[in-house]
Amino acid sequence: MKLFLKMALVAAISCLAFQSNAQADTSNNDLDKLLQKDAPKKKDYTTATFKSTHLINGQTVESLGAGVLDFRISHRFGDVSGGFHTFFGLDDANTRIGFDYGITDWLMVGVGRTTFDKEYDGFVKVKLLRQTTDDRMPITVSYLGSMSISDRDKPVLDSGQTYYFSNRCYYTNQLFIARKFNRWLSLQLMPTLIHYNLVQYKSDPNDVFACGIGGRIKVSNRIAVTGEYYYVANPLAGSNNALSLGIDIETGGHVFQLMFTNSRYITERSFIGQTQGTWGDGNIHFGFNISRVFTVVKPKGTEELRSKAW
């Protein structure tokens, strides 16, 4: 009888312990669910709004990844209306060689040298907002600040005038506001302010205001059709609005951009504010951009993930 009572007591204690553990597990599960419910959802950002950091002549909202170097060569040839005499403009070329680098995923810098006006330029691009897939943030916004310096020969000035180094400097500020509507269509607005320290005529403004619109239509996984137009509100004397049409071709680490444009210039201050040709008069220039991307600094954790994969 005593043995039976002892066994019953042990069984009762075991049942109570099992019930207590079950309730604790249930309580923990409920708590986890509440915490997951209250925790903010991880943002899923839209990617590849554009395939390159440059649309045609101008740039896009895209930035290079951290530690990525982009070596760029840009050519704008002469007027195709020259015919066989100038080999449709190929005898004459304006060239820019540049290096862009991603410091972080939202901060990018670049430098370049252009044959037109023997110009050196540098820029900083900052990504301010990023579009999300749930449309809580419907757009991507980036800011570009650039400066260029002309190294051309000192111009002949009227007697008594002094040509300062600051007369060689130009400044550009741009906002890029873009939205990727679906996998094949992206559009972008580009409000722009350009400052010229020195202008050719007294009637010319030192501050030029412009607004561009551009877009990309994806034809296949590697080919896209692009377009870009800049309207200048207060143009310099003799300048016209820049209109460009192009094709992007991606081949691995290379992106080839082929275009036709009424501007033979490449830097922002020149192709936006100083374009002289018009499509209506046949002043069309063929050009291309070649981009080659290199990973200079690998992101942290890459080697660890690779070792785990092996």
Q: Residues 28-37: pLDDT tens digits?
A: 555 455 445 5
Question: For position 252, what pLDDT does the model report?
Answer: 74
Please give the biggest Cα pair distance in the chain: 127
Residues in CB range of 239: below 8 A, 6 or more apart: 232, 273, 274, 275, 276
E strand or H helix that includes residue 161? none
Question: For position 144, what pLDDT does the model report?
Answer: 98
Q: How confident is the model at residue 305 (pLDDT cuts 50, 70, 90)?
A: very low
CATH fold of 68-295, please?
Answer: Porin (2.40.160)
Mean pLDDT (whole number) for 50-64: 95
Whole-number percent of the chain with pLDDT over 70: 80
Q: Mean pLDDT of all residues in the chain?
A: 85
The answer to whether the CB of 181 falls within 8 A of the CB of 303 is: no
Domain segments of the chain: what residues? 68-295
Question: For position 1, what pLDDT does the model report?
Answer: 52
Q: Residues 203-235: pLDDT tens digits?
A: 999 999 999 999 999 999 899 999 999 999 999
Kindly compute the dihedral angle of the four CA atoms of residues 24, 26, 27, 32, in this order, to the nearest 10 degrees.
120
Q: Is the pLDDT of residue 109 over 60?
A: yes
Q: Is the pLDDT of residue 293 over 60?
A: yes
Q: How confident is the model at residue 15 (pLDDT cuts 50, 70, 90)?
A: low
Question: For position 41, what pLDDT does the model report?
Answer: 61
Among candidate residues 81, 20, 51, 10, the one with its CA nearest the CA of residue 286: 81
Kindly compute the dihedral angle of the four CA atoms of residues 79, 84, 87, 92, in this order, to the nearest 10 degrees.
-50
Residues in CB range of 210: below 8 A, 6 or more apart: 191, 192, 193, 194, 230, 231, 232, 233, 272, 273
Q: Is the pLDDT of residue 309 over 70?
A: no
Question: For position 71, what pLDDT does the model report?
Answer: 95
DSSP 53: S
Q: Is the pLDDT of residue 157 over 90?
A: no
